[in-house]
Amino acid sequence: MSDKITVYEKPTCSKCREMTKLLKEGGFDFDKVNYYIEPFSESKLKGLLKKMGIAPRELLRTSESIYKELGLAKKDLSDTELIELMVKHPDLVQRPIVERGNKAVLGRPTENVQSLLK
């Protein structure tokens, strides 16, 4: 697989820094996107979820204060509504997300990325 690797991250995140280290040490060429500076569009987030093969609720950071403030644990929201909230509140998105070609994985734990590096 020779497709470019893109890491969607928050630079202050420890798992994101671990991912950068792993990819650099492996000699991989990759781009990093700070999705707080370059926010996800709804279509981009939908595409990443499809590539990961997971539902929007599986990508939510349930420990974040915004998750609790919005009462998301108790709300039965549609996938579209959850994606809209994640676009509006990037703290709701688990990170890092690593994309390569037609696949993507949640890099938490960091070892999840191994399937993309073969």
Tens digit of pLDDT at every position of the chain (118 positions): 458 999 999 999 999 999 999 999 999 999 999 999 999 999 999 999 999 999 999 999 999 999 999 999 998 999 999 999 999 999 999 999 999 999 999 999 999 999 999 8
Strand order, beta sheet including 103-106: 30-34, 5-9, 97-100, 103-106
Task: Report pTM.
Answer: 0.94
- CATH 3.40.30.10: does it fit domain 5-116? yes
Domain boundaries, the chain: 5-116
**Whole-angstrom Cα Rg for the chain:** 14
The predicted-structure confidence for 90-110, as pLDDT tens digits, reads as follows 999 999 999 999 999 999 999
HSE (side-chain half, CA atoms, 13 Å) at 36:
10
| Cα(100)–Cα(89) distance, integer angstroms | 25
Is 16 part of the annotated catalytic residue set?
Answer: no
Q: Which of 10, 13, 39, 67 is catalytic?
A: 13
With beta carbons less than 8 A apart as the criterion, state whether 104 and 81 touch.
no
| Cα(76)–Cα(73) distance, integer angstroms | 8
Both structure tokens of 117: 């590096």
